[in-house]
């Protein structure tokens, strides 16, 4: 029994168990490795993708539950040109090891699409992804800059 | 004697001339390097530097990228001396081949350990000396990334020299082409210019001829005033790919027909696998093999999630062995007993040592730090292919490519020549991926040997990563000081537990006339290893907490008290003063808030933090602000240096507030981020970093920010509440009103060790 999965606008027929984690299907079946494995229990956010525009931690999403949904990964962001969030990440020199940043950028992009001028507290409440390198001060600065430039972010 | 340990620990001070280096490759070795790591149209002109016909300059880095920005700063150092056009500079990871062993790193550590510099070696012996060090690097398989050493050693002793030598060779090539004296040429923006005629040549067109000249072992180097790239906040080369998910980390490797593996290791350290139980996972979809190892069971499957589900479904039976009764309490008791019986092994004594405790009022305190996991974002993993011809190929992110190759060959029991290792970027390390901690390589190689001819990617789940790390040791220190009538310390005695050698980082810089250091060795069944800033991560907390206690005991301001003991250390004094001034030290804080200050030097860099915290009546803690000053001599990339200070603060804060690995039944209790919490955006303070430049040799960046974090926070908590925290982490302590009423600066009771 196949599962139809729409990832980055492309539809895939996949022969996988419905309870296979979306993360590993994206990584191992579709070879999209920008989405990362960090904890496996939706605690760190490294695997964040957009499902119908909403940020979801794909390590804990059974693939069967999102068949038919529009799934977007980091690879779809900036495919043509860098998004405002990605550019702000470069301007503020946010990433260090970079491993958490795909998930971080996906989480921040989805959040800014719902609140383009957040307070620091609102940002921190919404974006609970873990970065072990400690890029938080620059994430905050990048988001402040996007907010003050009144950038519209679409997820 | 140079040991691997030196690369991990480093010294408290950095000696060494700023601009001396040599040990360049003769042209024969350049040609060998071309065969290994150059494509058509490019060639090595000096160690680490390739120049292509089209003028593209590639700096080949003998380190791993674990996020600290060294690929950019090392390239800046090479390109600056080369007078290269930065727009044409690219970067690559050096192959894990002995030719690319990092002799400059050995040179730097050797001089550092000997508290000496290349100047102490007669000029005529420098070439042979450098060759010996390079030879040593090859023999020891050194390509290590650790000890905050990339910029201050590889950069200073390797990259800058190679850049300067290559520049001279390019000038020689131009001089030969024009048949003019070399003195008539200068360089700029990747061109050699004939000064009298103005005729110029691009580096690309000279590279082939330049590679034929012998590199000078002591080329002319720039003075600080001549730098064009060093000291500039050049944007990091690696960042654009990292915002697009475009970096291939170790975990992302894909090989044709590749299988995946998941592992369960004996929870109790040192335990053995007895059986894998009766659960029939072999018939589960995709499962290829159940591999029984000495202390672990591995499932190999066609997809990772299938391997993981299957290994989790097993009911393996492990024999915990001798360690099954070890617990955090038994470890703590053993530390207290060891320190109480006073069989202290003397390390270092200054003045009258511990005898001087009789010269004043004794203050005695006990401190402890817990085991810590590294918890890198990317769990450790490795992909291995054991071929049918008995050769081995491994892909992984580790902190030493060449060392990993030798390690994997040994694990497989094959000759070194039959092993290939591919070093990949990693989702940070903090020491987890350093030599000595490569259990993931061992398991990957052994798994691959069980399915020969097929590449297998072994990934630790977060739970396995958390429970089978090599932890920052649990260390207890008994500190004593004697205060004179002016309440200044005349004696400083630090006895502490160790599962290794004595710690040079225990030695204080403060002007205390009599000092004594001693160790008690404690049994350690928990595997330990270097964790970002190594020994300084505990001695920073001990020394700076105790100094704060002495200041309060003396009724003096903690900043002013430290200043009085640092008058002989102008760099420390300036750094301390800068942090205090920028933090507004001495100005009033709002109700419930307090400021704490701490300073520590390690890996050649001095860092002072002022933390400002707020504690509510019900004990909720918020760290509002960190103001940081650092003296690293000079920051090669000031923005990158600041990023490393920020990083050190966040990692240090995670450790100080929450970090704790506990042991029960000889096994780690914590499993994943929910029970091993780390700092999130919501906990992140505002951070300001100020660099105090000095003429000191270049210092490290990755680690020195960490040690003063915890004491700055706990000193601030004391200022806000009167509660002194002597055992980390902070989360275990009540800070509310009730706790404050009970808090008092109890003088350490004789013979009854406690943390009260």
Q: What is the pLDDT of residue B196?
A: 97
* Same-domain check for residues B638 and B703: yes
Whichever domain contains B410, its CATH number is 3.30.365.10
> Nearest by CB to B673, which of A33, A39, A94?
A39
Q: What is the pLDDT of residue B130?
A: 65
Give dist(CA B31, CA B60) in Å, integer: 15
Q: What is the pLDDT of residue B750?
A: 38
Ranges under pLDDT 50 in chain B: 1-22, 745-752
CB-count exposure of residue B125 (10 Å: 0-12, 13-18, 19+): exposed
- Look up the CATH number of domain A3-76: 3.10.20.30
> Nearest by CB to A134, which of B251, B376, B647?
B647
* Same-domain check for residues B308 and B181: no
Within-domain flag for B595? yes
> Nearest by CB to B650, which of A75, A105, A136?
A136
Q: What is the pLDDT of residue B12?
A: 31
Give dist(CA B638, CA B151) in Å, integer: 13
- The SS3 assignment for B296 reads strand
Residues, chain B: 756
**Is A94 near chain B, with CB under 8 Å?**
yes
- The SS3 assignment for B194 reads strand
- Are B251 and A31 inside 8 Å of each other by CB? no
Q: Please name the residue that has the structure tokens 């006339």.
A: B513
> Nearest by CB to B254, which of A31, A37, A98?
A31
pLDDT tens digits, one per residue of B599-636: 999 999 999 999 999 999 999 999 999 999 999 999 99
Task: Give the closest residue to B652 by CA, choosing from B691, B602, B690, B693.
Answer: B602
Within-domain flag for B751? no
A37 CB neighbours in chain B (<8 A) are: 251, 378-379, 459
Q: Please name the residue that has the structure tokens 């659960």.
A: B279
Q: Tell me the backbone φ, ψ of residue B686, rounded to 5 degrees.
A: -70, 135
Within-domain flag for B244? no
Separation in Å, CA of A71 to nearest CA in chain B: 16
DSSP per-residue string spanning B118-164 = GGGS-HHHHHHHHHHHHHHHHHTT--B--TT-IIIIIIIIIIHHHHH
- Are B379 and A37 inside 8 Å of each other by CB? yes
- Which residues, numbered 101 to 140 in chain A, qualify as contacts with chain B under a Cβ-Cβ cut-off of 8 Å? 101-102, 105, 121, 123-125, 127-140
pLDDT tens digits, one per residue of B489-544: 999 999 999 988 899 999 999 999 999 999 999 987 899 999 999 999 999 999 99
- Report how many domains make up chain B: 3
So what's the architecture of A84-148 in CATH? Orthogonal Bundle (1.10)
Written as six digits, the tokens of B569 are 């250390």
pLDDT tens digits, one per residue of A15-71: 999 999 999 999 999 999 999 999 999 999 999 999 999 999 999 999 999 999 999
Give dist(CA B20, CA A132) in Å, integer: 36
Domain edges within chain A: 3-76, 84-148
* Same-domain check for residues B136 and B284: no
* Same-domain check for residues B454 and B546: no
Within-domain flag for B646? yes
The sign one gets for the Cα dihedral B271, B274, B279, B280 is positive
* Same-domain check for residues B225 and B261: no
Give dist(CA A83, CA A103) in Å, integer: 15
* Same-domain check for residues B220 and B294: no
Domain boundary among B406, B439, B459: B459
Q: Please name the residue that has the structure tokens 């690319």.
A: B100
Within-domain flag for B196? yes
Which conformational region is residue A53 in: left (phi greater than 0), alpha (psi within -120 to 50 degrees), or beta?
left
Within-domain flag for B245? no
B236 CB neighbours in chain A (<8 A) are: 93, 95
* Same-domain check for residues B402 and B258: yes
Which of A39, A126, A139 is best to mutate for the B interface (most B CBs within 10 A)?
Answer: A39
Residues B554/B559/B561/B562 CA torsion (nearest 10 deg):
130
Are residues B126 and B118 in contact, defined by beta-carbon separation less than 8 angstroms? Answer: yes
Q: Whole domain around residue B177: which residue ranges?
A: 4-239
Give dist(CA B260, CA A37) in Å, integer: 14
Are residues B748 and B361 in contact, defined by beta-carbon separation less than 8 angstroms? Answer: no
Q: What is the pLDDT of residue B128?
A: 59
* Same-domain check for residues B414 and B480: no
**Is A78 near chain B, with CB under 8 Å?**
yes
Q: Please name the residue that has the structure tokens 């003397």.
A: B346
- Are B684 and A44 inside 8 Å of each other by CB? no
Separation in Å, CA of B462 to nearest CA in chain A: 5
> Nearest by CB to A93, which of B236, B241, B249?
B236
> Nearest by CB to A20, which of B243, B260, B305?
B305
Separation in Å, CA of A115 to nearest CA in chain B: 17
CA B500 to each of CA B9, B525, B527, B530, B665: distance values in angstroms, whole numbers, following the listed order: 12, 13, 11, 11, 23
- Are B679 and A136 inside 8 Å of each other by CB? yes
- The SS3 assignment for B634 reads coil
Domain boundary among B438, B459, B480: B459
Q: Please state, as a whole number, how many other Cβ atoms lie within 10 Å of the Cβ of residue B746.
A: 11
Are residues B170 and B45 in contact, defined by beta-carbon separation less than 8 angstroms? Answer: yes
Q: What is the pLDDT of residue B446?
A: 98
Domain boundary among B206, B239, B272: B239
Residue A6, beta-bridge partner list: A11, A70
* Same-domain check for residues B271 and B155: no
Q: Give the percent of chain A with pLDDT over 70.
A: 99
Within-domain flag for B209? yes
Least confident of A106-115, A130-139, B144-153: B144-153
Q: Please state, as a whole number, how many other Cβ atoms lie within 10 Å of the Cβ of residue A11.
A: 9
Within-domain flag for B80? yes
- Are A34 and B643 inside 8 Å of each other by CB? no
Question: Sheet of A48-51: strands edge to edge?
Answer: A10-14, A3-7, A70-72, A48-51, A54-57
* Same-domain check for residues B367 and B394: no
Report CA B520 to chain centroid distance, whole Å: 26
* Same-domain check for residues B297 and B409: yes
- Are A24 and B303 inside 8 Å of each other by CB? yes
């Amino acid at each position: 029994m196949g599962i139809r999965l729409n990832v980055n606008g492309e539809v895939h027929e996949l022969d996988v168990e419905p309870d296979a984690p979306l993360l590993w299907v994206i990584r191992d079946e579709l070879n999209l490795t920008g989405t990362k494995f960090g904890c496996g229990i939706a605690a760190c956010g490294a695997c964040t993708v957009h499902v119908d525009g909403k940020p979801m931690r794909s390590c804990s999403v059974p693939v069967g539950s999102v068949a038919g949904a529009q799934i977007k990964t980091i690879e779809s962001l900036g495919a043509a040109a860098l998004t405002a969030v990605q550019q702000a990440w470069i301007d503020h020199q946010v990433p260090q090891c970079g491993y958490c940043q795909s998930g971080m950028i996906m989480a921040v992009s989805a959040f800014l699409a719902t609140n383009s001028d957040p307070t620091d507290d609102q940002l921190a409440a919404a974006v609970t992804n873990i970065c072990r390198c400690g890029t938080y001060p620059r994430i905050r600065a990048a988001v402040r800059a996007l907010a003050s430039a009144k950038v519209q972010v679409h997820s | 004697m140079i040991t691997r340990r030196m690369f991990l620990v480093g010294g408290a001070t950095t000696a060494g001339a700023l601009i001396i280096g040599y040990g360049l490759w003769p042209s024969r070795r350049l040609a060998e390097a071309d065969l290994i790591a150059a494509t058509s149209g490019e060639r090595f002109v000096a160690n680490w530097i390739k120049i292509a016909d089209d003028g593209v300059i590639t700096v080949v880095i003998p380190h791993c990228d674990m996020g600290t920005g060294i690929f950019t700063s090392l390239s800046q150092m090479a390109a600056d001396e080369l007078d290269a056009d930065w727009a044409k500079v690219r970067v690559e990871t050096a192959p894990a081949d002995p030719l690319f062993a990092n002799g400059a790193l050995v040179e730097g550590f050797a001089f550092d350990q000997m508290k000496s510099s290349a100047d102490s070696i007669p000029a005529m012996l420098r070439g042979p000396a450098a060759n010996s060090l390079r030879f040593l690097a090859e023999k020891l398989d050194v390509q290590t990334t650790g000890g905050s050493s990339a910029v201050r050693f590889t950069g200073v002793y390797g990259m800058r020299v190679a850049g300067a030598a290559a520049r001279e060779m390019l000038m020689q090539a131009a001089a030969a082409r024009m048949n003019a004296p070399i003195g008539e040429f200068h360089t700029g923006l990747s061109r050699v210019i004939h000064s009298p005629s103005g005729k110029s040549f691009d580096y690309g067109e000279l590279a082939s001829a330049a590679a034929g000249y012998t590199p000078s072992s002591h080329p002319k180097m720039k003075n600080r005033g001549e730098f064009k790239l060093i000291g500039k906040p050049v944007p990091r080369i690696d960042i654009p790919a990292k915002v697009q998910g475009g970096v291939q980390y170790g975990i992302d490797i894909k090989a044709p027909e590749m299988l995946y593996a998941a592992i369960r290791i004996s929870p109790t350290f040192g335990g053995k696998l007895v059986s894998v139980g009766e659960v029939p996972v072999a018939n589960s979809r995709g499962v290829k093999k159940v591999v029984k190892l000495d202390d672990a069971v591995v499932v190999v499957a066609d997809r990772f999630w299938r391997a993981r589900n299957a290994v989790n479904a097993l009911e393996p039976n492990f024999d915990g062995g001798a360690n099954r009764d070890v617990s955090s309490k038994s470890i703590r008791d053993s530390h207290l007993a060891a320190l109480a019986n006073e069989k202290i092994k003397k390390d270092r004594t200054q003045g009258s040592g511990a005898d001087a405790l009789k010269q004043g009022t004794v203050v005695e305190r006990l401190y402890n730090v817990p085991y810590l996991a590294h918890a890198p974002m990317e769990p450790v993993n490795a992909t291995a292919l054991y071929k049918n011809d008995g050769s081995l190929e491994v892909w992984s992110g580790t902190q030493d490519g060449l060392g990993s190759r030798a390690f994997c060959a040994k694990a497989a029991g094959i000759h070194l020549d039959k092993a290939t290792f591919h070093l990949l970027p990693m989702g940070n390390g903090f020491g987890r991926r350093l030599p000595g901690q490569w259990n993931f390589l061992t398991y990957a190689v052994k798994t691959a040997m069980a399915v020969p001819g097929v590449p297998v990617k072994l990934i630790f789940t977060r739970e396995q990563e958390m429970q089978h790390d090599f932890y920052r040791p649990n260390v207890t220190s008994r500190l004593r000081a004697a205060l004179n009538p002016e309440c200044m310390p005349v004696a400083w005695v630090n006895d502490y537990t160790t599962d290794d050698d004595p710690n040079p980082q225990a030695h204080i810089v403060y002007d205390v006339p009599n000092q004594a250091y001693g160790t008690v060795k404690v049994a350690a069944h928990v595997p330990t290893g270097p964790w970002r800033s190594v020994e300084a991560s505990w001695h920073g907390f001990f020394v700076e907490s105790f100094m704060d206690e002495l200041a309060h005991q003396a009724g003096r301001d903690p900043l002013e008290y430290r200043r009085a003991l640092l008058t002989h250390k102008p760099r420390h004094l300036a750094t301390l003063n800068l942090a205090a001034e920028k933090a507004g030290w001495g100005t009033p804080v709002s109700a419930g808030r307090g400021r704490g200050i701490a300073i520590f030097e390690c890996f050649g860099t001095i860092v002072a933090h002022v933390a400002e915290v707020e504690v509510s009546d019900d004990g909720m803690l918020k760290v509002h602000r960190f103001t940081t000053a650092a003296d690293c001599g000079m920051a090669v990339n000031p923005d990158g240096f600041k990023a490393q200070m920020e990083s050190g603060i966040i990692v240090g804060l995670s450790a100080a507030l929450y970090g704790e690995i506990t042991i029960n039944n000889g096994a780690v209790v914590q499993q994943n981020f929910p029970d091993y919490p780390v700092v999130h955006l919501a906990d992140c303070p505002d951070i300001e970093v100020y660099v105090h430049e000095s003429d000191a040799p270049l210092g490290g960046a990755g680690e020195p920010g960490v040690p003063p974090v915890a004491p700055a926070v706990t000193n601030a908590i004391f200022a806000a509440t009167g509660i002194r925290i002597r055992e980390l982490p902070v989360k275990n302590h009540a800070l509310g009103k009730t706790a404050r009423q009970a808090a008092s600066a109890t003088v350490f009771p004789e013979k009854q060790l406690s943390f009260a």
